[in-house]
Amino acid sequence: MMRQATTILDFPTNGRGFAEITRAVAQWIAKTGIEEGLVTLLCRHTSASLLIQENAAREVRADLLAWFDRLAPENAGYSHDDEGPDDMPAHLKAALTGVNLSIPVQRGRMLLGTWQGIWLAEHRRAPQRREVAVHLIGQ
């Protein structure tokens, strides 16, 4: 019999950078008792995003941040700057990386690769509280 579970996980960020949320998602999946299925995550913001990325080498995240800043620099003459010079660049970075992920679940665990983790990317300079909606369907 198919079952479903849904929650909203809340994460503080320290400002621009990445926060690994793999453990929090895995713990929630374990509590549902659903062993086989598909978990879907949605970042409920337009200036933050979700990525599956390397979870061992910090240099990967540092290089990603530098690359994002080259692609979407601050003070580049954007029309939208309602919340400051990091506002529109944050929206562009979120558009590049996306706000949702789908991950298969088997034997109660996400089928992530050895070096993969789920990262919440904060694209604003100031610390924020971010919500990620999580839905699991399976049996």
pTM of the prediction? 0.95
In terms of phi and psi (left: phi > 0; alpha: psi -120 to 50; beta: otherwise), the region of 25 is alpha
pLDDT confidence bin for 126, thresholds 50/70/90: very high
Residue 81 pLDDT greater than 90, yes or no: no
Chain mean pLDDT for the chain: 97
Sign of CA dihedral 116, 117, 118, 122: negative
Edge-first strand order for the sheet with 48-54 is: 17-20, 116-122, 48-54
* pLDDT one-digit tens code per residue, 37-55: 999 999 999 999 999 999 9
Of the candidates 122, 99, 134, 116, the one whose C-alpha atom is nearest the C-alpha of residue 19 is 122
CATH placement of domain 3-138? 2.60.120.460
Domains in the chain: boundaries: 3-138
**CB-CB contact of 130 with 68 (8 Å):** no
